[in-house]
Structure 1
């Protein structure tokens, strides 16, 4: 039985509770937000912000929600979480992703190469964690970042996502995309070589490397993994901004195309929007705009059937 723990914000836990509504257990356990059981997997959310997944497919279920730490191999997460001295001032490739937790819109991964000489200019632009910026600020910064530093962006639209998702769980898909973005960016900047590659950590290093073995163009050397990577190097912060800008643009375009406002995230507004799409064109149309394996699909079908 595998055993996976996530550390999540309260807003994400609230979102999870809604997503697992039909699987909630009627238990009152101290210091827990909720306990659910889905397909043999027990999900326990604690008031501390930790969420525990227990069961044979715990890793797969946890991967739907992001930054997992596999407690079966605690040593694997300790590797390289302490960065070399003056890492923030080195010439680094940083990568990040956006869209993994949103029902609508694509999954976007971006890698940015920020040389030491470019760091002051990035800082002057106001580059920082995209979560600390408004959407208009992100849209304004993205083209300036693209003009300043080399980058590689990969976008998986929902239709393609749904095609490969049965074979690629959320973690494996992100590993494939991060690796490919980094590989292509390295080719762009050759013969220059980064002093390190910082990946905004979404799974343990051991897990990342396990899935990496399935990839064709494996980037295996000089990798560092740390959560909130944007706080440790501007390359990751710049990558997060480019990802968010591309995601917002894609979501806006999709909303215009289908004639229905498509919200970010995976809450009740997503359920309602999906129900409207189902009534308009059925599951085939919904598959063009949404990640169908999310619990939102079942909820939307119930709303549409009313």
Structure 2
């Protein structure tokens, strides 16, 4: 039986894209993924993830990666919500895989609601399992998480080459937030690669507008 796994990287970041990746493979090949050490990407070093990327691609039957830029994330957050964007992206990935049974890492507090959201966007019928922490408990999802993370890291590195000091790209990183504060103060706008729908960025832009009113 061909099974699939789908996961994302960069959901909570304020800089850079949201990346959704999926893999499909014969169930008998799962042991090969385990042999090379595939597990949740967050438990691996960047060097190990990068090394595994090509190994995973050589083992799986198919893989698909979708990069969603900050602007598209913003549009979805302002209109329909991030969960719906992610469910739709996962459905597009699943439709391109030949798996008959797919496991996805669930971002919704309600796994069945998220599963139903994905099913509503699919063009074909198949079994979808929506699980919290699927990247930790399902090897196919773990493999997808590595592809997603390496792809996102590569995209963030391209931004880093043009803009020093962006940090990890997450709002919990003070270096990232300091970079954004300085960028907004100097350019009087948010960078194109930052998510304007995130509350910290909205606060910075609101502060900028307030200063304009006072001058």
Question: TM (normalized to structure 2)?
Answer: 0.84
Which stretches in structure 1 are left out of the alignment for 5+ residues? 1-89, 187-192
Residue 127 of structure 1: how far off its partner (Å): 0.6
Residue 249 of structure 1: how far off its partner (Å): 0.7
Question: What is the CA–CA distance in structure 1 between the aligned matches of 2:49 and 2:169, rounded to whole Å?
Answer: 15
Residue 143 of structure 1: how far off its partner (Å): 1.8
Matches within 5 A, 1:280-299: 280-283=186-189, 285-286=190-191, 288-299=192-203
Q: 1:243 to 1:213 in 2, by over 3 A?
A: closer
Instruction: Give the number of the structure whose alpha-carbon radius of gyration is greater.
Output: 1
CA RMSD of aligned residues (A): 2.4
Question: What is the CA–CA distance in structure 2 between the aligned matches of 1:139 and 1:132, rounded to whole Å?
Answer: 13
Q: 1:233 to 1:293 in 2, by over 3 A?
A: same
Secondary structure of residue in 2 paired with 1:289: coil
**Residue 139 of structure 2 corresponds to residue 139 of structure 1:** no
Which stretches in structure 2 are left out of the alignment for 5+ residues? none
Question: What is the CA–CA distance in structure 2 between the aligned matches of 1:234 and 1:153, rounded to whole Å?
Answer: 17
Provide Cα deviations, 1:204-224, integer angstroms capped at 9, x if missing partner: 244225544763x44553111
**Of 246-255 and 158-167, the range deviating more from structure 2:** 158-167
Question: What is the CA–CA distance in structure 2 between the aligned matches of 1:246 and 1:252, rounded to whole Å?
Answer: 10
Secondary structure of residue in 2 paired with 1:271: helix
Q: 1:261 to 1:271 in 2, by over 3 A?
A: closer
Question: What is the CA–CA distance in structure 2 between the aligned matches of 1:206 and 1:138, rounded to whole Å?
Answer: 30
Question: What is the CA–CA distance in structure 2 between the aligned matches of 1:242 and 1:100, rounded to whole Å?
Answer: 15
Give the aligned length: 206
Question: What is the CA–CA distance in structure 1 between the aligned matches of 2:187 and 2:18, rounded to whole Å?
Answer: 23
**Residue 147 of structure 2: aligned partner:** 242
Which protein, 1 or 2, shows the higher relative CO under an 8 Å CA cutoff with sep ≥ 6? Answer: 2
Secondary structure of residue in 2 paired with 1:112: strand
**Residue 103 of structure 2 corresponds to residue 198 of structure 1:** yes
**Residue 95 of structure 2: aligned partner:** 183
State whether residues 251 and 262 of structure 1, in contact with CA within 8 Å, keep that contact through their aligned partners in structure 2: no
**Residue 32 of structure 2: aligned partner:** 121
Higher helix share: 2
Matches within 5 A, 1:265-284: 265-267=170-172, 268-283=174-189
**Residue 3 of structure 2 corresponds to residue 92 of structure 1:** yes
